[in-house]
Amino acid sequence: MSLPFLLEIGTEEIPDWMIPDALENLRLLFEKLAIPHESIAMDATPRRLVLRADGLPVRQADSEERVMGPAKSAPAQAVAGFARKQGVAPEALTIETTPKGEYYSFTRKVAGRQIKDILAETLPGLILQIYFPKTMYWTVKGGPRFIRPIRWIAALLGEEIVPFEIAGVHAGALTSGHRRLGAREIAITTADYEQRLRDHYVILSAEQRREKIRKELAGVAVKADPALLETLVYITEYPTAISGSFDSQFLALPEEVLVTVMRHHQKYFSVEDGHGGLAPRFVAVMNIPSDPEGFVQRGNERVLRARFNDARFFWETDQKKTLAGRIPDLAHVTFQAKLGSYLEKTERMRALANDLGGDDHAVRAAELSKCDLTTELVKEFTELQGVVGGLYARVQGEPEPVWQAIYDQYKPESMEDRIPRNRTGQIVSLADKLDTLRGCFRVGMIPSGSRDPFALRRAAQGVVKILVEGKIELPLLDFLEGNRALIDFFADRVKFYFKDHRGFAYDEVNACMAAGWSNLVGLEERLVRVQNLRTTPDFEPLAASFKRIRNILDQAKFNGGTAIDESLLEAGPEKELYEEYRRIAAQPLEGVISRLRPKVDLFFDKVLVNAPDARVRQNRLTLLQTLLAEFSTIADFSEIVTHS
């Protein structure tokens, strides 16, 4: 016989963004129990995490356990003692032949346990093990921790309740419906669970909620926003889309501001007008099936009107003082306790923009870049910092490169984001990030593990991305103040960028970086070259030879010799290698690799580097080192992992 299993952890509202990961985590924890099952399904709403599995056995299969006893040659007393310990007569023992000889053994039958008992025993610990980024306790100090209080648990194996308890909540056969449209206690079976919930205004399946919203959005030109859709799917149990409108006079405000208000503050979809602009409409998703009286629509319209009024009020108030006029106010805005105010940061950024080769526009943009932090609009909509500064700069007649640079200064915000659209913006963004990185490392605020409160990894990643993708040939290392920790930190970011983001092989990245990585544009070019070289048949053997050369030089503790003494070169492979080197020196490796390789191979075949004559030996080492140095400007090939 096989049984269906249902586990519903009923909670208070779980933050939407944590739900999918928590569900996956719950599934993995359950799979780890290794209870046989035919299928498993995971579902969640903000108030419940649900695991349903089919085809669980009633009992674990019986198993056999073999216990080895004394050797066949052991005294009868020892054999009897072993049998007694197993609870059987000595005659019940069998003799087993092993590589070490013959031994008594006993095969014990272990009855499989009831699955219900195993579940009852393991589920409390399993549930409390589900990972959440931030947990709370809700009973007493030291009590169980979860993302939000657990208020009910339904746990059924077939018809039977799996009995256990967490924080005073006993598992049962009851669920709970929609907070206001459903009953608080609903009797369920594994068969009717989903339908019972549906009857009480809970759509259990996220996919069905998503589809319902999608269907209701069809026909309205909403700005596609998959992330918002996911939020709404996991913040509702019975989602229904409704649309509303706002006064078109608000369309005079910048679209960035309108969209931010609608999306981030109100979780509305904005609607496009079909001509690249916004329509004075929005779509909200409510957690009830209908709005017959229009209460919800009017309520949301009113909230949006107030928000837009606020934004307009801030927009107009902010215009009374130019960005330039706000520079002194930055003295009152803390950048970071140990690093002073934004005024100080601005001064450092100006200097840095100049050092980075920025023109007057870049210096001007750096000077104005943080001024929007003192505006009402940014105080209200912090996520619009930079963007607002850019919009104000445009209105206040700053040249296009300047306002665009201010607008884009926080870009790229992720590996997928684009870098600032113009060179001025790239320089300003670099100046901002480098200043933050240098300052934080100087005062010891260095990210470790998952602790990175100042998002320094993202900042450094941004620097790398801008330098490479903006094709900015600056010596990055010259801007790191010789700070070892910061240099190592950047080395990791550079590796990550080329390896994980750009897909170069790790040994190619190591090899090219070993030949220097201060100029990231140059590094990228060399990586591409090595990647291409690698496809040629001569590459791997040559790389292996270079590795050999490196080892020989290391073993000889060779620190560089004088010039090669041609008179000491032996005729044959050594001389030929030297002459080949003379012919191809200073030429790109791509064109000469096929000529170089056989000479190197021959040299190693025929010539003994470790010659008895110290002068000859010294000269050969010099030859090898010269060769290595000549072709290591593109990469240190000894870092390449070869198969030969």
Partner 1 sequence: MPSFQEIIFKLKAYWAERGCVIQEPYDVEVGAGTMCPETFLRVLGPSPYRVAYVQPSRRPADGRYGDNPNRLFKHSQLQVILKPAPEDVIEQYLGSLEAIGIDLRQHDIKFEEDNWEAPTLGAWGVGWQVMLDGLEVTQFTYFQQCGGIDLDVVPAEITYGLERLTAFLQVKDSVYDIDWTKDFTYGYVRYRDELQYSVYNFEMADIPTLWKLFDLHEGEAGRLLALYDPKSADKKRFPLLPAYDHVLKCSNLFNTLDSRGAISVTERVGMIQRVRKIAVGVAQAWADQQSGAAAEVAR
For the CB of residue 346, give the shortest distance to partner 1 in the complex, in Å. 13
Nearer to partner 1, 79 or 333 (CB): 333
Q: Are 200 and 180 in contact (CB under 8 A)?
A: no
From the CB of 348, what's the least distance to partner 1, in Å? 14
Question: What distances in angstroms separate CA 483 from CA 47, 353, 427, 435, one per listed residue?
Answer: 50, 20, 21, 13
Residue closer to partner 1 (CB basis): 235 or 474: 235
Of residues 148 and 394, the one with the C-beta less far from partner 1:
148
Write down the least CB distance from residue 436 to partner 1, Å. 16
CB of residue 262 to partner 1, shortest distance in Å: 10
**Residue placing its CB nearer to partner 1 in the complex, 148 or 534:** 148
Cis peptide before 133 (omega within 30 of 0): no
- Is residue 433 within 8 Å of residue 369, measured between CB atoms? no
State the nearest-atom distance from the C-beta of 132 to partner 1, in Å: 11
Query: Smallest distance from the beta carbon of 227 to partner 1, in angstroms?
Result: 15
Q: Which is nearer to partner 1, 12 or 566 (CB)?
A: 12
In the complex, what is the shortest distance from the CB of residue 366 to partner 1, in angstroms, rounded to a whole number? 19
Closer of 181 and 521 to partner 1 (Cβ): 181
Smallest separation, CB 235 to partner 1 (Å): 6
Shortest distance, CB of residue 215 to partner 1, whole angstroms? 19
CB closer to partner 1 out of 164 and 282: 282
Q: Is the separation of the CB atoms in 245 and 287 below 8 Å?
A: no
Considering beta carbons, is residue 214 or 332 the nearer one to partner 1? 332
Q: Which of 623, 622, 610, 550 is nearest to 582 (CA)?
A: 623
- For 104-114, letters b (16+ CB in 10 Å) and e give bbbeeeeeeee
Which of 488, 484, 433, 503 is CA-nearest to residue 461?
A: 433
Closest CA to 283 of 254, 344, 240: 240
**Quick one: which H or E segment has residue 86?**
helix 76-86
End-to-end CA distance of the chain: 58
Largest Cα–Cα distance of the chain, in whole Å? 105
- The least CB distance from residue 177 to partner 1, in Å, is 12
HSE (CB half, 13 Å, CA atoms) of 602? Answer: 14
Q: What is the DSSP letter of 164?
A: -
Q: What tokens appear for 416 in the block? A: 């997928």
Q: How far is the CB of 178 from partner 1 (least distance, A)?
A: 10
Burial class (CB in 10 A: 0-12, 13-18, 19+), 487: middle
Q: Are 580 and 596 in contact (CB under 8 A)?
A: yes
Q: How far is the CB of 313 from partner 1 (least distance, A)?
A: 6
Q: Which is nearer to partner 1, 148 or 547 (CB)?
A: 148
**Six-digit token string for 152:** 């009910």
- For residue 46, give the DSSP letter: T
CA gap 417, 413 in Å, rounded: 6
Judged by CB, which is closer to partner 1: 97, or 290? 290
CB of 370 to partner 1, least distance (A): 13
Query: Do 624 and 576 form a contact (C-beta atoms < 8 A)?
Result: no
| Alpha carbons 537 and 338: distance in angstroms, whole number | 56
Which C-beta is closer to partner 1: that of 333 or that of 592? 333
- Residues in touch with partner 1 (CB under 8 A): 12-13, 15-16, 46, 134, 136-141, 148-149, 151, 179-181, 184, 235-236, 266, 268, 284, 286-288, 291-293, 295-296, 298-300, 302-306, 309-310, 313, 329, 331-335, 337, 340-341
Tokens (6 digits) for 260:
């931010």
DSSP notation for 579-641: HHHHHHTTS-HHHHHHHHHHHHHHHHHH--SS-SSHHHHHHHHHHHHHHHHHHTTT--GGGS-
The H-or-E segment that residue 492 falls in is helix 484-496
Q: Cα separation of 520 and 634, whole Å?
A: 13
**Buried/exposed 289-327: b ≥16 CB within 10 Å, e otherwise:** eebeeeebbeebbebbeebbeebbebbeebeeebbeebb
Give the Cα separation of 232 and 16 in Å (integer): 8
Residue number with CB closer to partner 1 (235 or 544) = 235
Query: Please, what is the minimum distance in Å from the beta carbon of residue 167 to partner 1?
Result: 10
